[in-house]
Amino acid sequence: MEENKIFQRLKELIQNSSSKYYHYPVAAILECSDGKLYPGVNIETSSPQAGICAERCAIFSAIADGYQKKDFKRIFLLNQTENIITPCFICRQALSDYCDLDFEIISYNTLGESKTYYLKDLCQDAFGEDSLK
Ligand SMILES: [Zn+2]
- Of residues 3, 55, 82, 104, which has the active-site annotation? 55
Query: Per-residue pLDDT for 14 more than 80?
Result: yes
Q: How many Å apart are CA 133 and CA 48, to the nearest integer?
A: 32
Phi, psi of 94 (to 5 degrees): -65, -45
pLDDT at 2: 77
pLDDT at 4: 80
pLDDT at 48: 86
| C-alpha 35 chain-centroid distance | 16
For residue 75, give the nearest of 41, 45, 49, 46 by alpha carbon.
Answer: 41
Distances (CA, A) of 128 to 29, 56, 86, 93: 24, 16, 20, 8
31 is catalytic: no
pLDDT at 3: 75
Q: How many Å apart are CA 35 and CA 61, to the nearest integer?
A: 15
> What is the rounded average pLDDT of the residues 104-123?
97
Q: How many Å apart are CA 111 and CA 23, to the nearest integer?
A: 19
> What's the CA-to-centroid distance between 42 and ligand 1, angstroms?
8
Q: pLDDT for 59-101, tens place per residue? A: 999 999 999 998 999 999 999 999 999 999 999 999 999 999 9
> What's the CA-to-centroid distance between 95 and ligand 1, angstroms?
10
Domain membership of residue 108 as a residue range? 3-132
Classify residue 121 by burial, with Cβ atoms within 10 Å: 0-12, 13-18, 19+.
exposed
Q: pLDDT for 23-62, tens place per residue? A: 999 999 999 999 999 999 999 999 989 999 999 999 999 9
Question: Which residues have their alpha-adjacent CB atom under 5 A from ion ligand 1?
Answer: 53, 88, 91
The total of structural domains in the chain comes to 1
> What is the rounded average pLDDT of the residues 105-133?
95
What's the predicted TM-score (pTM) here?
0.95
The domain spanning residue 21 has which CATH number?
Answer: 3.40.140.10
